């Protein structure tokens, strides 16, 4: 599997930044490096525990922000990274944009959007 990058704009209370993210379908939330989220004026709302690839636990603060990609804007959960943390575009944000990563072409493409109909019967 090759490395895929995407450019997106992240908005916070103070400013917005265009960032190059590594697309990581093995990671849930999008990660913002410390210098980015501080410049945007983001503050952690709660702490989550995550596991690194080696199994060791780390705690990181999370919050919500807006990300714009290809003219579409979505509100998404982001991890407020530490100095050493890279900008990662996680699968939760990818799905909020209705996108999937095609591992064969190494390109993002629209996901097949499914909607199940439901009928409610009155008793």
Q: List, for residues 49-63, the tens digit of each pLDDT value.
A: 999 889 999 999 999
What is the number of domains present in the chain?
A: 1
CATH code of residue 40: 2.40.70.10
Q: Is residue 115 part of a domain?
A: no
Q: Is residue 82 part of a domain?
A: yes
pTM of the entire structure?
0.85
Which pLDDT value is given to residue 119? 65
- Higher-scoring residue by pLDDT: 46, 112: 46
Q: Is residue 20 part of a domain?
A: yes
Q: Which domain holds residue 82?
A: 5-110
Q: Is residue 117 part of a domain?
A: no
Residue 99 CA: distances (Å) to CA of 14, 105, 111, 113, 115: 28, 14, 5, 10, 16
Residue 24 CA: distances (Å) to CA of 30, 32, 47, 64, 87: 9, 13, 21, 19, 10
Q: Is residue 120 part of a domain?
A: no
Q: Is residue 78 part of a domain?
A: yes
Q: Is residue 121 part of a domain?
A: no
pLDDT, tens digit, 9 for 90 and up, residues 61-76: 999 999 999 999 999 9
């Amino acid at each position: 599997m090759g490395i895929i990058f995407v450019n997106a704009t992240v908005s916070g209370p103070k400013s917005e930044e265009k960032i190059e993210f590594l697309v990581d379908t093995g990671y849930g939330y999008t990660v913002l490096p410390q210098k980015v989220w501080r410049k945007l004026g983001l503050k952690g709302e709660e702490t989550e525990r995550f596991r690194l690839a080696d199994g060791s636990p780390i705690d990181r603060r999370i919050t919500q922000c807006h990300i714009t990609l290809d003219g579409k804007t979505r509100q998404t959960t982001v991890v407020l990274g530490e100095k050493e943390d890279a900008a990662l575009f996680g699968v939760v944000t990818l799905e909020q944009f209705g996108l999937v990563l095609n591992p064969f072409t190494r390109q993002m493409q629209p996901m097949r959007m499914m909607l199940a109909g439901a009928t409610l019967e009155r008793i």
